[in-house]
Structure 1
Amino acid sequence: MSRSGGEKERKFEILDNRIDSGIDSISLSRDYGSLDSSDEKDKLGTEERLDSAYASSSLTVDSLGDLIEECSISKCERTTGCEYTEEEVNFLTTVTDDGDTILHLAIIHEEQCFAHQLIDLFPPELMDIQNNLYQTPLHLATYLNQPKVVKDLLEKRVSLELQDQEGNTALHVACEHGFLDCANELVHNASPSKLTNVLETQNWRGLACLHVATVHKHHRLMRLLMKSGVDLNIQEGTSGKTALHVAVELHDVPAVTLLLNRGANVDAVMFNGCTALHLAVGRQDAPIANLLCQAGADKMIRNMEDETALDLADGNDDILALFPFDDIQIMGRTVTHLRTCT
């Protein structure tokens, strides 16, 4: 196929037969179809990846290897005027029963060299195809910790904002599994506006990326998100917790310290009116309660149950020592200002 402007001719050949109606039309169809768990290992071998939702049983490693051998792709410099043959379009757009394109499958089976070739070949409008679980190739490359593939995809300007069936963006996935290299590629190759949208996006559990990193105690990822301008006080969607609330609930002193040092609002309240200090005192966590008090936590804030943090101390001497006793209380309520009658 000749290209205008002296572009190199690129041959795209599939031996034996041409793909016209889907991947199943390839002569390797004997290897397709669901695998029973009893013979899964025999057919796939020890190197096969079947990571719950992030794998496809419709193609084995052996058959993918055969497919790679059948495909001959020589590089060309793509331009906006570059055209594709009908066979190429069919090949790139066909999907398995799981909704995976050949690019999804190359990433799933960790055939990174082939994935790089396909990324160069795929037109931009096909790079964000989502499979039946709403996973894009970017989701899969991130889940399988393939930062070089992630970088290649981002250079083709794929979408960072698409969400999988759990509402996770690719950055959510990186934050959940602690894949710092993939997260680095995701945040450094995103435009500021797109990155802001991703950092504010909540998955279907209401968690933004900072919440996810905090939940899984991935402190280095938390730092990366902070350097990327994440809102430290962003609230999750179900109860209004900030990352500080989450860290306190997990008794995660390093995360609490990190968030406070970076300027998180120590008095941020959940939907029920509880501050981080309410949570620390209610969980009898004196060290974290002390950190919060040192950061200037307001001890008199009342939640929707009309309780201050002191009301929740429940006789814990270490925590009670953090609260002054020189205030006057009438019927359990602190009186901070008295008017003198004359």
Structure 2
Amino acid sequence: MSRSGGEKERKYESDESRIDSGIDSYKSISRDPYWSLQSSEEKDKSSCGTEERLDSAYASSSLTVDSLGDFIEKCSISEGENATDSENNNEEEVNLLTTVTEDGDTILHLAIIHEEQHFAHQLIELFPRELLDIQNNLYQTPLHLATYLNQHSIVKDLVANGVSLELQDQDGNTPLHVACERGFWDCANEMIHNASPNKLAHVLEAQNWRGLTCLHVATVHKQRRLMRLLMKKGVNLNTQEGTSGKTALHMAVELHDVYMVNLLLNSGTDVDAAMFNGCTALHLAVGRQDAAVANRLCQAGADKMIRNMEDETALDLADGNDDILALFPFDDIQIMGRTVINF
């Protein structure tokens, strides 16, 4: 299963500028008959000079669906095995079960990737808990991969066996971030309802490397059902993302999504929460000429006179839009948002 030194050197020389491709690339490539028949040397040659890797970032190029089948057969962990056979195969099984590929994957990672769910369930029961949290070279745990592939029964089994929900992959995403991005409600539900309150609180507040919490991710990807699930578990609606200070309400306004705006307002979000530049959700709605959203924010009591760091109120951004200007009472004359005459 290991490469020779020369082969490794050739691979490293040609791979210096490559980017690992991820789980979706693996799923399409692993089913290509031509790819599965190529030798390791042919794969190295075919990938030289390309900007992106063709081989999976989640599995060693020396392991295929067929070789995983050999692993399953050799491990002999099925029920009904007699004691003599178990003793004879014990050392070999231990070696196989503790193998880590050149991409950092354990056999459990591989079972999940190849969608060998029955085998994965067996491995989860066999592995001690600390091995269930091993991260591969992309910092993905088996729980990350099971979530990526929407294997909610595997997610349920892993969570029941006490795996960490807080570990982050190379993008800073927890498994719950992944579920919220992809809209996998069943996976998210298993994690949320089986986690202890203390652990769940940390996960709900965790930000990925773009500064987004799970609620931010669900909002950006318009995963409304997941937003409701997070709200039921007491997620902080006013948490600011780490780059510009937007709350989920700001993001919903930017998407012109009246439903999500209503959902957040009805759940108690702060209508006047400001970004780092001082803009409220009303500033964003008016600046985007979105009269429907601006009207809903005004109905929720949005303060029309809050000034951002450019010293602008929402009215200053109306830019002659009659539908939006109608939302603002004219009990005085203003120039650039400043009162010059009171009546």
Shorter-normalised TM-score: what interval?
0.7 to 0.9
Partner residue in 1 for 2:74:
70
CA contact (8 A) 2:312 2:337 kept: no
Q: Deviations over 1:280-315 (max 9, x none)?
A: 000000100011000000000000000000000000
The size of the alignment, in residue pairs, is: 297
Deviation by residue 1:125-147 (Cα, 9 ceiling, x = unmatched) = 11100000000000000000000
Alignment counterpart, residue 92 of structure 1, candidates 83, 90, 97: 97
Is the Cα contact below 8 Å between 1:100 and 1:130 reproduced in 2? yes
Residue 310 of structure 1: which of 311, 315, 326 is its match? Answer: 315
Q: Which runs of 5+ in 1 are unaligned?
A: 1-22, 26-32, 77-84
TM score, norm. by length of structure 2: 0.80
Q: Which has the higher helix share?
A: 2
> Is 1:280 matched with 2:285?
yes
Judged with a 3 Å threshold, the aligned counterparts in structure 2 of structure 1 residues 174 and 53 are, in CA distance, closer, same or farther, namely farther
- Which residue pairs with 1:124 in the alignment? 129
Q: 1:1-342 maps to which residues of 2 (within 5 A)?
A: 40-44=32-36, 53=57, 57-74=61-78, 87-329=92-334, 332-334=337-339
Aligned-residue RMSD, C-alpha: 2.8
* Cα offset, 1:273, TM superposition: 0.3
Quote the offset at 1:265 in angstroms. 0.5
Deviations 1:233-257 (Å, cap 9, x if unpaired)? 1110000000000000111111111
Measure the CA separation in 2 of the matches of 1:217 and 1:312. 26
Bigger mean CA deviation after superposition, 88-97 or 255-264: 88-97
- Relative to structure 1, is the Cα distance of residues 330 and 38 closer, same or farther in structure 2, using a 3 angstrom cutoff? closer
Asked if structure 2 preserves the Cα contact closer than 8 Å seen for 1:56 and 1:105, the reply is: no
Q: CA separation of 1:53/1:181 partners in 2, compared to 1, >3 Å: closer, same or farther?
A: farther
Return the letter of the residue paired with 1:69. Answer: E
Structure 2 contact 104–137 (Cα < 8 Å) conserved: yes
- Residue 60 of structure 1 deviates from its aligned partner by 1.4
Provide the C-alpha distance between the structure 2 equivalents of 1:319 and 1:188, rounded to a whole number of angstroms: 43
Kept in 1, the 8 Å contact 2:58–2:103? The answer is no
1:61 is displaced (CA, Å) by 1.3
8 A Cα contact 2:313 2:337, kept in partner: no
Distance 1:240 1:258, change over 3 A: same
Compute the displacement of 1:88 (Å): 4.5
> Partners of 2:30 and 2:266 in 1: how far apart?
53
1:179-234, Cα deviation, whole Å (9 max, x unpaired):
00000001011000000000000000000000000000000000000011100111
What do residues 21-43 of structure 1 show as CA deviations (whole Å, max 9, x unaligned)?
A: xx659xxxxxxx999x7995424
Q: Aligned to 2:76, what secondary structure does the other structure show?
A: strand
Cα drift, residue 91 of structure 1: 2.8
- TM-score by length of structure 1 reads 0.80
Helix, strand or coil for the counterpart of 1:157? coil
1:73 aligns to what SS in structure 2?
coil
Q: Distance in 1 between matches of 2:243 and 2:283?
A: 18
**In structure 2, how many angstroms separate the alpha carbons of the residues matched to 1:262 and 1:38?**
45
AA at the equivalent of 1:62: D
Q: 5+ residue gaps in structure 2? A: 4-10, 16-25, 38-53, 81-89
Give % identity.
79
User: Take 2:173 and 2:140, find their aligned partners in 1: how far apart are those partners?
Assistant: 9
- Matches of 1:336 and 1:147, distance apart in 2: 64
